[in-house]
Structure 1
Amino acid sequence: MFELPTNKEYVIAPLSLAILSTVLMLFNLGYYLDFDRTAIANGEVWRLLTGQFTHSNWYHLLLNILGIVFIWLLHAEYTTIKKYWVNVGLLGAFTGLMIWLFAPNIVVYTGLSGLLHGLIVWGALEDIKRKLTTGYLLLIGVWAKVLWEQYAGASADVAMLIDSRVAIEAHLFGAIGGVLLAIIYLFYKTKKPA
């Protein structure tokens, strides 16, 4: 039978991510924190990371919170509070930097979706490392979605719901970041003294 990962160690980090994003939305702090290409060019480099935690509207936030819950259900046992936030920070910074460098058409970006794609890919690779068939299915599913978006574009319905362009580039960059994160952990584990 399936048991929810309700251990405090597994709940605190994803819950705190959802709370952080909600507080930023509640106090309308996006003006100061959104990924804004002009502001970043003028020295506000923190926006490369902080834009990941702001949202265009409440529907956007709700969709991302559902993503947090989905990942928690699938892979909570793979992280500690510290590791979760390291993963979120690295994937968020990586996604923001890749948008800055390789998606000049994105002037303003908000939302967790890029780094959430990275967390899902990293978790799927952890499943595979543990010889779970579901990891392969999840990895194939995520990459099929990401590649389909690159070919066909984003869902117009989702864009209308979140009142913003769906940044499919961020999904791709996040997924790549998830692979790189898994490689970093593998390298770190092999270099760590026994």
Structure 2
Amino acid sequence: MMLLVLQLLAPESTMSLRYDRAAILDGEAWRLLTGQLVHLGWTHCLLNVGGWIVGALLFPKLFARRRFWLEVGAMAIGVGLGLLLLDPKLAHYVGLSGVIYGVLVRGSLPSAGRDWRMTTLLLLIVGRLASQVWVGPGASEEEMIGGAIIVSAHVYGAMMGALLSLGPRVLR
């Protein structure tokens, strides 16, 4: 998987691909996307790989669709643009967690209300996000991954997943 290869190449891959606000404003727009592909360290990377695997196991039909990979790209760019436009004090960001939140919302939202499991999953996601926004991330979580958890990235990812689920047919 690309995330693992990029982690093997760290720290060079991280420095050249991370979301870097100043570099993006200087024309390195690819960092809006590639910042999602690099991580703070191995623990952070493996946690995100685990989240990706959970998503693939929960939503195999979604992952099998060709259009899904375009949606993942849209989620990643949406997270990057959200950080750029709405978090002007954030200088750097790495990690796939925002996109993972988007995938989980994208997969669960269409069936929520009809399938109790998807309703429960969606409520757990929303509850987790609400806790992160109002209480903040746990210090032990941040210590485990080796840096700050950027909650807004999770929120932007979830919003992109909802938009792709509920938006006009052209988005689906």
Q: Under a length normalisation based on structure 1, what TM-score does the superposition of the two structures give?
A: 0.83
In the alignment, the residues of structure 2 paired with residue 165 and residue 57 of structure 1 have an alpha-carbon distance, to the nearest angstrom, of 12
Give the Å deviation of 1:103.
Answer: 1.2
In the alignment, the residues of structure 2 paired with residue 76 and residue 104 of structure 1 have an alpha-carbon distance, to the nearest angstrom, of 36
Among 8, 13, 20, the residue aligned to 1:36 = 20
In the alignment, the residues of structure 2 paired with residue 137 and residue 176 of structure 1 have an alpha-carbon distance, to the nearest angstrom, of 18
Give the Å deviation of 1:189.
Answer: 8.6
Give the Å deviation of 1:126.
Answer: 2.9
Segments of structure 2 that go 5 or more residues without pairing to the other structure are none
Once the two structures are aligned, what percentage of the paired residues are identical?
32
Give the Å deviation of 1:41.
Answer: 1.3
Q: 1:143-154 residue pairs with structure 2 within 5 A?
A: 143-154=126-137
In the alignment, the residues of structure 2 paired with residue 163 and residue 128 of structure 1 have an alpha-carbon distance, to the nearest angstrom, of 35
Q: Deviation above 3 Å: which 4+ runs of structure 1?
A: none
The structure with the larger Rg is 1
Instruction: Name 2:58's counterpart in structure 1.
Output: 74
Deviations 1:21-73, CA, capped at 9 Å, x for gaps: 11111112111100011111111110011000110100000100110111111
Kindly indicate whether residue 162 of structure 2 is the aligned counterpart of residue 179 of structure 1. Answer: yes
Kindly indicate whether residue 42 of structure 2 is the aligned counterpart of residue 55 of structure 1. Answer: no
Give the Å deviation of 1:79.
Answer: 3.5
Instruction: Name 1:64's counterpart in structure 2.
Output: 48
In the alignment, the residues of structure 1 paired with residue 83 and residue 33 of structure 2 have an alpha-carbon distance, to the nearest angstrom, of 11
Counterpart residue type for residue 136 of structure 1? T
In the alignment, the residues of structure 2 paired with residue 79 and residue 59 of structure 1 have an alpha-carbon distance, to the nearest angstrom, of 24
8 Å contact 1:61–1:111 — kept in the other structure?
yes
Q: 1:1-194 residue pairs with structure 2 within 5 A?
A: 19-28=1-10, 29-128=13-112, 131-184=114-167, 187-188=169-170
8 Å contact 2:112–2:122 — kept in the other structure?
no
Deviations 1:128-164, CA, capped at 9 Å, x for gaps: 38x2111111111101110111101111111111111
User: Which secondary structure does the structure 2 equivalent of 1:164 belong to?
Assistant: coil
Distance 1:43 1:138, change over 3 A: same
CA-based RMSD: 1.7
Distance 1:189 1:90, change over 3 A: closer
